[in-house]
Amino acid sequence: MRHINTQLSRYGYILNLGVIGVLLAGILRVVFQLYADGLYPLASALSAITVFLALVYLRRRFTPLRWFAIGVGLAMLFTLYPILYTFYLSVTNMGSGHLMTKQQAIDRLENQLYMPEGGKTYGWTAFRSPDEAYALWLLPEEGPGLLARPGEPLEEAMPGADGIGAPDQDGIPLTIDGYERLAQNQVVPIISALGAIDFGEPPDTVRIRSLREAVTLKPKYRYDPDRDAMVDQETGTVYRPVEGTFTSDDGETLTPGYIVYVGLHHFERFLGNERFREPLIRIFLWNVSFALASVFLSFAVGLVVTLLFEGLPGSRLIRALLIIPWPIPVLVSILIWRSMLNPDLGFVAPLLESLFGSSPAWFQNAMWTRVAVILVNVWLSYPYFYVISAGAIRSIPHEIYDAAVVDGASAWGKFQHITLPLLLRILMPLLIASFTFNFNNFNVIYIFNFGLPPMPNTIVPMGQTDILISFVYRLAFITSNVTDYGLAAAITVMLFLLISLMVVFQARFTNLFREAD
């Protein structure tokens, strides 16, 4: 097929080009904004995608890629980039209080306003629209009245024109189109809400100071590029950057802070500190045991289903019943188990109590929670192992067994010396993949018991049944007041490295790339 013309049809090409053109224009606009705000990683990723798409659609030799360039672009953004970005995050301080770039933080700080002592003052009258939007009519000490709405520039307006009604004796319009004029007694109950609204647009922002007076606001902080510092316009205090936070000489800090490079700080935190390293190693060991036990037991049960009932009358019914867990969505299955083992609602606790006089604390005792999550995981996954080993067994040639029978091998002997070794060889890639999957089996751990019960006396919150990935989730999304994306990313980087090791291991058993031919 080397010689064929790989063009899409003319119609398809034009359609494609149109879509791509619009897409590229859109992406480029976002890239510029991201760049201006200092979000360089995302800006670079989107630029790379733009260049890729442009190349594919402009250079003839990339024609075959036109068939799926958009898919590749998506994968670059949502599969490849997150991996690279995780590495980037792991050397930054991103987390609560440090969520934006320096530029974004400066912009945010420069938007904070204060009421200066000698600022320009106005008399004011409030107007309200039916959808609860407010406007102010401002009367300066001299000059014409101004109409002020939030987020819009102050408007010099003449009563009696442009939808503004006739003035009363003070020069305040009686009506404004779309608004209702509020009397003093209507204003009093809402004065604090009104006082929180910034009318007008920077630099002419007006806020209500009292029932009589509104005042022009000024930016509280200014960024001084020469000194690389924020200066408080009210007090003159200088805030200099210290590890992603503008800090004054007295140690006062401004929020929000911003993202800075912290090098290997996070890795030192958990590798260099005994009180962090030790529980993390415990999590790791449990993580490995959980994955091993899950794969081993599920595979064993799957094998039993495949082999033990072969030829037994009723084996088809037995298998049909045994495959029941398979189509049930994972989350639903885990919720079922969680309810079933619940001492107040499920049937397991009363049953065990009547049989043995007591029932384990499935959710409070770490050992029993571990037993439970492995049990649940086996329930979820043995049907898969049954299906794949049934498929693999059919591919074992008949003749091998004939020879064994001649040699007088027993059923167990045949299983031990022929079936199992051959199965293991055929299924090794799937078993390793399954180990990798279970090593990161967040769902079972988190949905069953959130990785709890908690580990006592740890520096950051950890659960006794946490695996590494659920610990990452805990750091990033659960511990609400101290979310720490940098640390979470650093642990994820360790996970990436561990999985890479597994891949190297897997590559020794299989021709990993044989599908790429």
Partner 1 sequence: MEKTRNTPALRTGLLDQLRTGNWVGYLTRYLIAGILIVFAVAPALWIVSASLNPAKSLVGGTLWPENPSFVNYRELVTNDFFPYLTWFGNSLKIATITTLCTVTITCLAGYSLSRFRFKGRRSFMIAILILNVFPAILGMVAIFTTIQQLGLYVDALGLDKHVSLILIYTAGSMGINVLMVKAYIDTIPVELDESALVDGASPWQTFRHIILPIMTPIVITIGVLTFIAAYGDFVIARVLLKSSDQLTVMVGLMLFQTDRFDQDFGMITAGAVLAAIPVILIYIPLQRFVIDGLTAGSVKG
Which residues within the stretch 203-262 sit at the binding site for partner 1 (CB under 8 A)? none
Q: Find the binder of partner 1 among 48, 115, 238, 340 (CB under 8 A).
A: 340
Binding status of residue 17 toward partner 1 by CB under 8 A: no
Binding status of residue 352 toward partner 1 by CB under 8 A: no
238 versus 387: smaller Cβ distance to partner 1 = 387
DSSP string, 146-179: EEE-BTS--EE--TTSTTB--B-TTS-BS-BTTB
Q: Find the binder of partner 1 among 130, 143, 311, 456 (CB under 8 A).
A: 311
- State the nearest-atom distance from the C-beta of 352 to partner 1, in Å: 13
Q: Find the binder of partner 1 among 161, 166, 196, 312 (CB under 8 A).
A: 312
Binding status of residue 355 toward partner 1 by CB under 8 A: no
Q: Find the binder of partner 1 among 126, 147, 230, 427 (CB under 8 A).
A: 427
Count the alpha carbons within 13 Å of 151 in the hemisphere toward its beta carbon: 2
- State the nearest-atom distance from the C-beta of 71 to partner 1, in Å: 4
42 versus 187: smaller Cβ distance to partner 1 = 42
- The number of helices, as runs of H, and strands, as runs of E, in the chain is 19, 13
Binding status of residue 300 toward partner 1 by CB under 8 A: no
278 versus 353: smaller Cβ distance to partner 1 = 353
- Binding piece for partner 1, criterion CB under 8 A, among 107-115, 192-200, 250-258, 382-390: 382-390
Beta-carbon contacts of 342 under 8 Å, excluding residues fewer than 6 positions away, are 349, 362, 363
For residue 249, report the phi and psi dihedrals to the nearest 5 degrees. -65, -25
> In whole angstroms, what is the distance from residue 80 CA to residue 45 CA?
10
Binding status of residue 359 toward partner 1 by CB under 8 A: no
Tokens of 121: 């003052």
Q: Find the binder of partner 1 among 437, 454, 460, 479 (CB under 8 A).
A: 437
Residues 187 and 126: beta-carbon distance below 8 Å:
yes
Q: Within 10 A of 446 (CB to CB), how many other CB atoms are there?
A: 22
Q: At what angle do helices 442-449 and 366-394 cross, to 10 degrees?
A: 140
Measuring CA to CA, which residue among 472, 500, 495, 508 is closest to residue 95?
472
- State the nearest-atom distance from the C-beta of 457 to partner 1, in Å: 26
> In whole angstroms, what is the distance from residue 103 CA to residue 406 CA?
80
- Binding piece for partner 1, criterion CB under 8 A, among 119-127, 174-182, 270-278, 344-352: 344-352
DSSP string, 17-67: HHHHHHHHHHHHHHHHHHHHTT-HHHHHHHHHHHHHHHHHHH-GGGGGGGG
Q: Find the binder of partner 1 among 369, 377, 381, 436 (CB under 8 A).
A: 436
- Binding piece for partner 1, criterion CB under 8 A, among 210-218, 269-277, 357-365, 492-500: 492-500
Residues 138 and 213: beta-carbon distance below 8 Å:
no
- Binding piece for partner 1, criterion CB under 8 A, among 217-225, 269-277, 280-288, 306-314: 306-314
18 versus 391: smaller Cβ distance to partner 1 = 391
114 versus 284: smaller Cβ distance to partner 1 = 284
Binding status of residue 336 toward partner 1 by CB under 8 A: yes
> In whole angstroms, what is the distance from residue 451 CA to residue 433 CA?
23
> In whole angstroms, what is the distance from residue 26 CA to residue 20 CA?
10
Q: Find the binder of partner 1 among 22, 191, 300, 345 (CB under 8 A).
A: 345
Binding status of residue 324 toward partner 1 by CB under 8 A: yes
Q: Within 10 A of 195 (CB to CB), how many other CB atoms are there?
A: 12
How many residues in total does the chain contain?
517
Binding status of residue 418 toward partner 1 by CB under 8 A: yes
Residues 55-74 that bind partner 1 (CB under 8 A): 61-65, 67-68, 70-72, 74
| Number of chain residues interacting with partner 1 (CB under 8 A) | 125
Q: Find the binder of partner 1 among 20, 94, 230, 374 (CB under 8 A).
A: 94
> In whole angstroms, what is the distance from residue 365 CA to residue 249 CA?
50
Residues 447-486 that bind partner 1 (CB under 8 A): 447, 469, 472-473, 476-477, 485
Residues 21-50 that bind partner 1 (CB under 8 A): 26, 30, 33-34, 37, 39, 42
